[in-house]
Every structure is written in structure tokens, then in C-alpha cells.
Amino acid sequence: MPQSPSVASRHLLCCSVLFAAGLVGSAAFAQTSGHGSDAMQKSMMSGMESMKQMKMSGDTDKDFAMMMKVHHQQAVDMAKAERDHGKSPELKAMASKIIKDQTKEIEQLDRWMQQHP
């Protein structure tokens, strides 16, 4: 019998879906070039699909690490689109910081998952 997702996993998935819905909705109002917006939307949709396909282990720590890695990778991909296509110096700087910080966190999550197979 399949295990039901933990409360933390359901919360993370719910937050991700709400976040994605806001981004997809705001993409319609994004800059007219579309390149960056298309990349962000593609990243979100791909990440949401990846998270939907994940089988929860029943171990909150492992499920958190697995899902956060995907979530952070989505943020990195979207930040790269902003850095490459955005116009706002403030948002481009924020995007660069997100790329640096969340890449480091992905590496930490990878190390943790390797140590806890």
C-alpha cells in the first residue's frame, strides 16, 4: 500500500504549486521579448512535473532534501533567465545572488543525500 505524503511534503508541494501559479500568471505581464519569461515558465513546469513524479520515501528528511533540490534548481534556472534577459539592475543583481546561494545549497543537499542513502 503506498504511503501518503507527510504533512511537510504536502506543504512543500502546495507552496511550490502556489508559487508556480503566481509565476505563470505573472508571465503574461512579463517583458515583451518573451525569451526570459519562456525560460522561467518552462523551468517551473518541468520542475513541477518532476516533483509530481517523485515517490515519497516516508522519511521527511530525505523527501525534503529531494524536493528542495528540484525547487532550488528551478530558482537557479529562473534566475539565469532574469540575469540573461531582464532589464532591472536590482533584479539582475538579486538573480546573481540567487544563482550563487542556491547552487551552494544544492551542493549541500547533494552531499547530505549521498551521506544518507
What pLDDT digit, counting tens, does each position of 10-44 carry? 545 444 544 444 444 444 334 444 677 887 787 77
| Predicted local distance difference test score (pLDDT) of residue 59 | 95
| Predicted local distance difference test score (pLDDT) of residue 42 | 79
Mean pLDDT score, 95-115: 97
In whole angstroms, what is the distance from residue 113 CA to residue 100 CA?
20
In whole angstroms, what is the distance from residue 8 CA to residue 64 CA?
8
In whole angstroms, what is the distance from residue 102 CA to residue 106 CA?
6
Least confident window among 5-9, 80-84, 100-104: 5-9
| Predicted local distance difference test score (pLDDT) of residue 38 | 82
Mean pLDDT score, 89-117: 97
| Predicted local distance difference test score (pLDDT) of residue 46 | 75
Phi, psi (rounded to 5 degrees) for 34: 80, -25
- Given a contact cutoff of 8 angstroms between Cβ atoms, the answer to whether 5 and 13 are in contact is yes
Q: What is the pLDDT of residues 42-100, one digit of tens each?
A: 777 777 777 778 889 999 999 999 999 999 999 999 999 999 999 999 999 999 999 99
As to burial, measured by CB atoms within 10 angstroms (0-12 exposed, 13-18 middle, 19+ buried), residue 6 is: middle
| Predicted local distance difference test score (pLDDT) of residue 116 | 95
The helix/strand count (H/E) of the chain reads as 4, 0
Question: Residue 108 above 80 pLDDT?
Answer: yes
Q: Domains in the chain, please, with CATH?
A: 7-115 (1.20.1260)
